[in-house]
Structure 1
Amino acid sequence: MRVLLTAGPTYEPLDPVRFLGNRSTGKMGYALAEAFAAQGAQVVLISGPSTLPDPVDERIETVRVETAAEMFAAAAAAAETADIWVFAAAVADYRPARVAAEKIKKSGDTLTLELVKNVDIAATLGQRKRAEQFAVGFALETTNELAHARDKLHRKNFDLVVLNSLRDAGAGFGHDTNKVTVLDAAGQIVNFELQSKADVARGLVSLILARRAATH
């Protein structure tokens, strides 16, 4: 079994020293990679900038990238032969339209940036997904969480979507714990109460493998 897994943030450069990014650490994605490997899977872990060390399990191949475009290229290369896709990365929706060659110097009271949309990695690859492939996405939401997660599930051709709410204490970016809700296209919901990200990862992998076996 081969697994494609994205993790961590992306950094979109503004100039040689600055970037647009987010607070993702990659902890959830790395824990998922290790949980899949523990089940015997060969994992391609495509990681955005993260301070976490590469997993030592020889069944995990770590590919380090920085930008959304680089993550898409690496994911597209691995997707064709992967049985399971898990999109756990927090990919920047937009990037600066122009990257300055030199450090932008402070001038005036305001600075206006023009941003352009990045490729939607999960949605683009979702259009190519074959019937025997199983795709799982993550949704980090702050309002109307279930509605946004369901929309993402259908729009990106996911089999499951894992919902994180930033309103849940101890969940989301930066924590060693997580609390998630898993939704499928039939409207079924599975809740994982607050626990370590390693335990959440093991539970999610068991659920993913069981759902894939039942539908393929």
Structure 2
Amino acid sequence: AERGAEVLLISGPSALAVPPNVKAVQVESTNEMLEACLAAYDGVDIVIKAAAVADYRPRDVADQKIKKKTDDALTVVMDKNPDILKTLGAKKTHQVLVGFAAETQNLLANAREKVVKKNLDMIVANDVTAAGAGFNSDTNIVKFLYANGDVCELEQMPKVDVANRILDEALRIRNERA
């Protein structure tokens, strides 16, 4: 939005405020997020799917607290959530599709697999166990992997700088298609 783009943020519950000049759609579930993404998809040029939803959800949701009845274990049956990024990749026409791979092992192999399996133009991969990277840091160390197999390794930098590099690359890919 700060670069002048029309931005649509589709977000689950968050304590963060919606940035100025950003249109937001709030959702509660993975299925709602998928529906919102699909509803907007044809009208967008670039999708940056920055946050992953849970891979699984409980099959049954209790209306009230589940009380302990015995010392026995509780079994929770989980159903697989839809893969939003894969669904978007299968429906991609003109969009530039960027995903993320936060990994703890086999970074490049896992990221390459996602690029192919999900029909991505680019994936931002990082080893979340590395010092100065991941979730509990103001900096990150990422690699960009592209559909053509190229890899670009970035040095450690503030996350805002990583975000700007991601936008630069997404715009470059879009402009090369024009």
TM-score range, shorter chain: over 0.9
Q: Which residue of 2 aligns with 1:68?
A: 30
Q: How does 1:45-194 map to 2 (within 5 A)?
A: 45-56=9-20, 58=21, 60-107=22-69, 108-130=71-93, 132-194=94-156
Q: Which residue of 2 aligns with 1:26?
A: none
Moved over 4 A (4+): none
* Distance in structure 2 (CA, Å) of the matches to 1:178 and 1:189: 17
Q: AA paired with 1:104? A: I
Deviation at 1:109, TM superposition (A): 4.1
Q: AA paired with 2:35? A: A
Deviation at 1:70, TM superposition (A): 1.5
Superposed CA RMSD: 1.4
Q: Which residue of 2 aligns with 1:8?
A: none
* Distance in structure 2 (CA, Å) of the matches to 1:198 and 1:127: 30
Structure 2: which 5+ residue stretches go unaligned? none
1:137 is paired with a residue whose SS is strand
Q: AA paired with 1:39? A: R
* Distance in structure 2 (CA, Å) of the matches to 1:176 and 1:197: 6
Deviation at 1:43, TM superposition (A): 0.8
Q: Which residue of 2 aligns with 1:23?
A: none
* 8 Å contact from structure 1 (residues 48, 89) kept in 2: no
* Distance in structure 2 (CA, Å) of the matches to 1:196 and 1:154: 28
* Distance in structure 2 (CA, Å) of the matches to 1:125 and 1:186: 19
Deviation at 1:144, TM superposition (A): 0.9
Deviation at 1:84, TM superposition (A): 0.7
% identical aligned pairs: 48
* Distance in structure 1 (CA, Å) of the matches to 2:12 and 2:165: 24
* Distance in structure 1 (CA, Å) of the matches to 2:102 and 2:88: 20
* Distance in structure 1 (CA, Å) of the matches to 2:136 and 2:32: 23
* 8 Å contact from structure 2 (residues 96, 173) kept in 1: no
TM-score (ref. length: structure 2): 0.93
Larger radius of gyration: 2
Cα deviation 1:153-176 (Å, max 9, x = unaligned): 011110001102112212222432
Q: AA paired with 1:112? A: T
Ranked by relative contact order (alpha carbons within 8 Å, sequence separation 6 or more), the top structure is 1
2:28 is paired with a residue whose SS is coil
Deviation at 1:192, TM superposition (A): 2.1
Q: AA paired with 2:82? A: V
* 8 Å contact from structure 1 (residues 55, 62) kept in 2: no
